[in-house]
Structure 1
Amino acid sequence: MGRDTEGFVVYSENCLARFQTPLKPPQPPVIGKASHHSIELSWENEGYARQGPPERWTIFSIEKMDQKSRTYGTVYVGYSNHYSAEGLEPHTHYLFRLRITSPTGESLYSPPVSAFTTREPLSGKNLHQAVNMNDEEEVNKVLQSGTVYVNGTDKLGLTPLMLAAQKGYTRIVHKLVEYGADVNMKNGSGKDSLMLACFAGHLDIVKYLRRFGATWQSRDMGGCSPLHWAADGGHLAIIAYMIQDGCELDVRDDVSRWTPLMRLSAVSGNPAVASLLIRAGADVNTRDKDGKTPLMVAVLNNQEKLVQLLLDSGADRHVKNEFGSGAAEMANAFGRENIIKLLEERKSIEH
């Protein structure tokens, strides 16, 4: 028993002596791989107590300086020799230090080490922001990175090309097409870049998109064509170019079976656009799914100047819709006094 007791005492004293050996001052953590949100750190753990149960091991802690308070906070405690700091801010400077703690509670700190996260990878969001700001330099930078999908859509379903075409940013449109932007890609409502440019009135972009494969035959979800949208926008130069380029004049949508002239009769009533379409050969007596003509639609929407133009251009005031009503009945039903007068004058001239 005495020998066992003496042996135990000797063992305990040896352990205690080992634990009380002065700690070796630690070197700063070594910076490993860094990304835009993480930094890997490693350190030497050889030569420190690591025998027996874990409570007799040397403890390693990584501390990170808080940028605002300029004080250190512990982000890791354990027995490993590596740690990855996650959730960091991109393109930011950080300071780390290593603390070692012996089984007896003694602690030593390493000098701090500097580390930087990388810039956040360029994304479709960066490209959309650059296009929206008409920032050619930034657009070039993002496209040249080779990491961004040029046809990615924003929360409104617009590609960068659609956005540039809509806003009239010609040089950016050219650059996007150069990098493979799809000129025929459509948003959620079925509109492509050509339709958006036609509606917004950007003739140079319309011509450019045509050169690179945009087609007058494209349709949105309602069956409207680029000419429908150009008529809605009221841009005479674009419509004149479309006519010259062979665009179909009496193309119909899928909902009401309206041609651009009929849609114009309902929406804007623009006489200048209507005159251009009519002179090019648009049918003034075409009918929609309910048998209405452009004249009837113009009467219903109180487009007085357009009614006069249509009558002067050969619109037939005698035509009835599927319910037996004509332009005169519609004008009377809605009390369109000026239009009633126009129709009466036309009637007297015919007789």
Structure 2
Amino acid sequence: MEAAGEIVIQRPDPPVVGKVNHYSIELYWDINNDYKRVGPPSKWFKFSIEEEDVKTHMYGTVYSGYSKQHVVEGLEPSSGYRFRLKVTGHNGEYAYSPVVMVSTTREPMTGEHLHRAVNMNDEATVLKILQSGSVKADIPDKLGFSPLMIAAQKGYVRIVQLLIDHGADITQENGSGKNSLMLACFAGHLDIVENLRKEGASWETRDKAGCTAMHWAVDGGNPKLIEWMIDDGCKVDVKDSCSQWTPLMRVSAVSGSADVAHLLIASGANVNVKDKDGKTPLMVATLNNHERLVRLLIEKGADCSITNEYGIGISEMAKAFNRQNMLVILEDMKKEIL
């Protein structure tokens, strides 16, 4: 209001609180249009929103201009804030409103929260998030792993069950086609593998390279788990779709575990199977210097006379790759067999 050529600013009402979430608060003011825009902009009233610092109790300006609303952003969730409105006339006179107090809401649960809780084996938080209903149990992370895949790989038995109880899909695959069963088999977690099988996980599923859970289990190298898988009906002689490798071939190439190979062979694995290049497990084991495995394969009937697609035999391969120790073993084993 103006008196005797001077502006007398009445104390304004406090800002009105609009939409509030976990990181922002909407404020608006002058809903009764008490501060009309009369004349040129230089004569208009100017509005400022000031926020109180909880430590110093001093006020700082978060908005200044001629608008009648503002959204304060970048706030902390579940936190209280105090704001006041300042109205300034063209002659510099001003007045403050009473303080309005408002709190942001709790931060909503997201897939990131669920994955963090699973990785930390935090059962209570996992249960809380799942019960909230705001996050699906199958939500993948940036790498395409579901919470169940992570729990299965890490061996978190109770969290695996929590996720399954809340609808987690045991058949869900990551980007390479691996599911929770394959990951648990690779990691050697027998208790989780048993649980997933009880829930209906299949031995027949394959990843994008055509590998089965048995391929991944032999890479992990847990004999107790592999023995259980065999007893449960998991096939031991399935070829992948890329290299035509069976689990026995994977053992020959990766771990060289004679114990795992013995289980596979005892369950019917073909010791003379060929991959797409005509290589046998014995050839691959020889090239990878797995001495104990080479002896076992020959004892179990591996044919030393087989050649690959180029007509090259095992002894020639050993010589070409300077596997002198393997040449000695091959000759000794031949003598023993004879």
Instruction: Specify the SS of the correspondent of 2:3.
Output: helix
Name the amino acid aligned to 1:319.
I
1:83 lines up with 2:70 in the alignment: yes
Q: Is the 8 A contact 1:201 1:230 kept in 2?
A: yes
Please show how residues 1-351 of structure 1 align to structure 2 within 5 Å. Answer: 17=3, 20=6, 22-46=8-32, 48-50=34-36, 52-53=38-39, 54-66=41-53, 70-79=57-66, 81-351=68-338
How many angstroms apart in 2 are the aligned matches of 1:58 and 1:332? 93
How many angstroms apart in 2 are the aligned matches of 1:78 and 1:18? 27
How many angstroms apart in 1 are the aligned matches of 2:209 and 2:64? 62
User: Cα–Cα, structure 1 residues 335 and 95, in superposed 2: closer, same or farther, change >3 Å?
Assistant: same
1:67 to partner: Cα distance: 5.1
How many angstroms apart in 1 are the aligned matches of 2:266 and 2:178? 28
TM-score, normalization: structure 2? Answer: 0.91
1:209 to partner: Cα distance: 1.3
Q: Which moved more, 1:252-261 or 1:206-215?
A: 206-215
Instruction: Specify the SS of the correspondent of 1:83.
Output: strand
How many angstroms apart in 1 are the aligned matches of 2:331 and 2:32? 106
1:233 to partner: Cα distance: 0.5
Alignment deviations for residues 306-346 of structure 1 (CA, whole Å, 9 cap, x no partner): 01111111111121221112222222333333332332233
Q: Is the 8 A contact 1:199 1:233 kept in 2?
A: yes
Q: Which moved more, 1:277-286 or 1:151-160?
A: 151-160
Q: Structure 1 vs Structure 2: percent identity of aligned residues? A: 55
How many angstroms apart in 2 are the aligned matches of 1:296 and 1:273? 18
1:141 to partner: Cα distance: 1.2
Segments of structure 2 that go 5 or more residues without pairing to the other structure are none
Higher helix proportion: 1
User: Cα–Cα, structure 1 residues 346 and 57, in superposed 2: closer, same or farther, change >3 Å?
Assistant: closer
Q: Which moved more, 1:227-236 or 1:150-159?
A: 150-159
- Partner in structure 2 of residue 8 of structure 1: none
User: Cα–Cα, structure 1 residues 229 and 76, in superposed 2: closer, same or farther, change >3 Å?
Assistant: same
Name the amino acid aligned to 1:197.
A
Name the amino acid aligned to 1:74.
T
1:43 to partner: Cα distance: 3.5
Aligned residues: 337
1:224 to partner: Cα distance: 1.6
Q: Which moved more, 1:208-217 or 1:255-264?
A: 208-217
How many angstroms apart in 1 are the aligned matches of 2:101 and 2:38? 35
User: Cα–Cα, structure 1 residues 323 and 195, in superposed 2: closer, same or farther, change >3 Å?
Assistant: same
Query: Greater CA radius of gyration, 1 or 2?
Result: 1
How many angstroms apart in 1 are the aligned matches of 2:216 and 2:144? 18
Alignment deviations for residues 183-206 of structure 1 (CA, whole Å, 9 cap, x no partner): 111112221111110010111111
Q: Which moved more, 1:128-137 or 1:42-51?
A: 42-51
TM-score, normalization: structure 1? Answer: 0.88
How many angstroms apart in 1 are the aligned matches of 2:100 and 2:37? 29
How many angstroms apart in 1 are the aligned matches of 2:328 and 2:195? 47
Q: Which moved more, 1:270-279 or 1:37-46?
A: 37-46
Alignment deviations for residues 140-185 of structure 1 (CA, whole Å, 9 cap, x no partner): 1111111113222222221111110010001101111111212111
Q: Which moved more, 1:258-267 or 1:24-33?
A: 24-33
